[in-house]
Structure 1
Amino acid sequence: MLGLHLLYIFIIVFYCMSVSGYFIDFIQNNQKVNRIAFWLLSIVWILQLIFLLLRALEYSRLPIMTIFEGMFFYSWILVTFSLIINKVYKMDFLVFVVNLVGFSILTISLFAPAGDVSAEFADLFILELLIIHVVMLLFAYGLFTLSFSFAMLYYFQHHMLKKKRWSDKMSRIGNLSLLEKRSFQSALFGFPFMLVGLILGVIWGWTELATFPWNDIKVLSSFLLLAMYGFYLFQYKVKQKRGYGLTLLNIAAFLVLLINYFLSSSFSQFHIW
């Protein structure tokens, strides 16, 4: 247990250094710092993976059952996406934005209950259906976070262009059409993960619970979130809508995601996070 605590501290420290490095690179356009930040982020990914594996061995289960584990796994997904983005798109500032969210999630997890769950709930959670349900939703949250990050870059770029404040730093963010396209693509990949995840959750609920709680705040906010992203994708693909207004819709959907993730669980009848 002490080893896991020390490992967690190392993860926090290296993650903080990496995020700080990407910020310094954006301000000073320092490629040496950028490379250091990337390798620090790679170390964070490895340490997080080791942490998850050790916790899985310690509790003999997939470590996504507690609030702390859910946040930690969410953060690991964001780091994974960041490393892929860094290699595929070469958008350093996007990596900074994504990991600013990831580091915040990881830091908040410090205040979340980190202990094991009750034996009764653990027995229920062993069901493969529920495990897949949780993992798919976490991947959906990760992809929606990525979509939000592109949207925020669009928002920032849009206002800078409107105010005619151009600088070399803005060229590293990317043009508006590309940011909008990447934001749509990320949300498009995340939508089926959430849809299938919710369907599996409903099937599990009907199987294990006497009556499925459709009026549960977590259930309602989850389907509201799905509807908002579905509407966003519909407006982009079918209605061919583009521009600032659609970006604001994407950002609003992510705010609902945060409410769904952090607040609704406190009032939920059966969700622990």
Structure 2
Amino acid sequence: MIEVYMTRLHEFTIILYALSILLYFIDFLYSSRKANQVAFWLLAFVWLLQSAFLCIYMVNTGRFPVLTIFEGLYFYVWVLITLSLGINRLLKVDFIVFFTNVIGFAIMVIHTFAPIQYESEIMVQQLSSELLFIHITMAILSYGAFSISAVFSLLYLLQYNLLKRKKWGARLIRISDLSKLEHMSHILNVIGVPMLLLSLILGLQWAYIKLPEMIWYDAKVIGSFIVLVVYGISLYLRVGKEFQGKSLALWNLASFLIILINFFLFGQLSSFHLWYT
């Protein structure tokens, strides 16, 4: 009976999440402060419910929930909501919450309605370790940073387009200036790259200990290093070559697309990440 109530509460959370995004979309189209405020508090309530779910899950399982695809996706959404709400409150960047949580809601839907992989829990018991836990957690946090960075780049391109077409209005003012959007996108990449690098190092160390027969040219391993190299190039272009503007924003969005390909496609082609991805 408790599981039924938890399921219904989870479905209710998704409805609130969708309603919050809808109100943010209305605010984006019509610059409605009232819709923005209601959407914020709905999203804050969603965050509280998700935090409660995570705490209950940790109490029931005795571990942090990142060791299966369903746990990882749920934690990833929680990270996106937390970062977007925090950045919005601290930096007052309008629309960052809307665009970020479009991504979060899509992942939440995948988490909720994807077919359950019953073998995952058995393999988790066999493979889990503190090293693996840290590896996965850091990878998810780095992906969260890259996701928010991509949203800042998207807002940069939107603002750039409005300025180029001389579309003056409330939306132009609320999106924030181009330099601030570009700076925040860069800072999040600066945070995400070393976290991903450390995650890969820890993951390889764990694999060397637990899976000595691991295929080193595995699709997910190669894909993860491609992501690291692509974002490393982005930092080099920004710092070393002093690239700025539209081209760098487009590169950042393309880099995020590679992350999605790595997570959803290369994960399915992996010979040993199947239990997780």
TM-score category of the 2 structures, normalised to the smaller one = over 0.9
The residue number in structure 1 matching 2:262 is 260
Query: Structure 2 CA distance, aligned partners of 1:17 and 1:28?
Result: 16
2:126 pairs, out of 113, 123, 127, with 123
Could you list the runs of 5+ residues in structure 2 that have no partner in the other structure?
A: none
Any idea what SS the aligned residue of 2:95 has?
Answer: helix
Q: CA deviation at 1:89?
A: 1.2
Q: Is the contact made by 2:155 and 2:181 (CA closer than 8 Å) also made in structure 1?
A: yes
Q: Is the contact made by 1:136 and 1:197 (CA closer than 8 Å) also made in structure 2?
A: yes
1:45 pairs, out of 44, 47, 55, with 47
Query: Structure 2 CA distance, aligned partners of 1:115 and 1:66?
Result: 9
The percent identity for this pair of structures is 42
2:203 pairs, out of 201, 208, 216, with 201
Query: Deviation string for 1:65-118 (max 9, x for gaps)?
Result: 222221111100000001101211112211110111111110111232446634
The residue number in structure 1 matching 2:93 is 91
Name the stretch that deviates more: 216-225 or 151-160: 151-160
1:133 pairs, out of 135, 148, 164, with 135
Q: AA paired with 2:43? A: L
RMSD: 1.5
Q: Is the contact made by 1:7 and 1:51 (CA closer than 8 Å) also made in structure 2?
A: no
> Normalising by the residue count of structure 2, what TM-score does the alignment of the two structures yield?
0.93
Q: CA deviation at 1:162?
A: 2.3
Query: Structure 2 CA distance, aligned partners of 1:55 and 1:114?
Result: 17
Question: Aligned ranges for residues 118-267 of structure 1 at < 5 Å?
Answer: 118-125=121-128, 127-267=129-269
Query: Structure 2 CA distance, aligned partners of 1:30 and 1:163?
Result: 23
Q: Is the contact made by 1:67 and 1:113 (CA closer than 8 Å) also made in structure 2?
A: no
* Equivalent residue pairs, number: 272
Q: Is the contact made by 1:66 and 1:113 (CA closer than 8 Å) also made in structure 2?
A: no
Query: Structure 2 CA distance, aligned partners of 1:270 and 1:4?
Result: 32
Q: Is the contact made by 2:68 and 2:124 (CA closer than 8 Å) also made in structure 1?
A: no
Relative to structure 1, the CA distance from residue 149 to residue 193 in structure 2 (aligned partners, 3 Å threshold; closer, same or farther) is: same
Q: Is the contact made by 2:73 and 2:108 (CA closer than 8 Å) also made in structure 1?
A: yes
Aligned: 1:61 with 2:75 = no
Q: Is the contact made by 1:160 and 1:166 (CA closer than 8 Å) also made in structure 2?
A: yes
Query: Structure 2 CA distance, aligned partners of 1:212 and 1:65?
Result: 18
Query: Structure 1 CA distance, aligned partners of 2:254 and 2:146?
Result: 12
> Normalising by the residue count of structure 1, what TM-score does the alignment of the two structures yield?
0.95
Query: Deviation string for 1:216-236 (max 9, x for gaps)?
Result: 110001000000000101110
The residue number in structure 2 matching 1:27 is 29
The residue number in structure 1 matching 2:10 is 8
Any idea what SS the aligned residue of 1:263 has?
Answer: helix
Could you list the runs of 5+ residues in structure 1 that have no partner in the other structure?
A: none
Name the stretch that deviates more: 139-148 or 85-94: 85-94
Q: CA deviation at 1:42?
A: 0.9
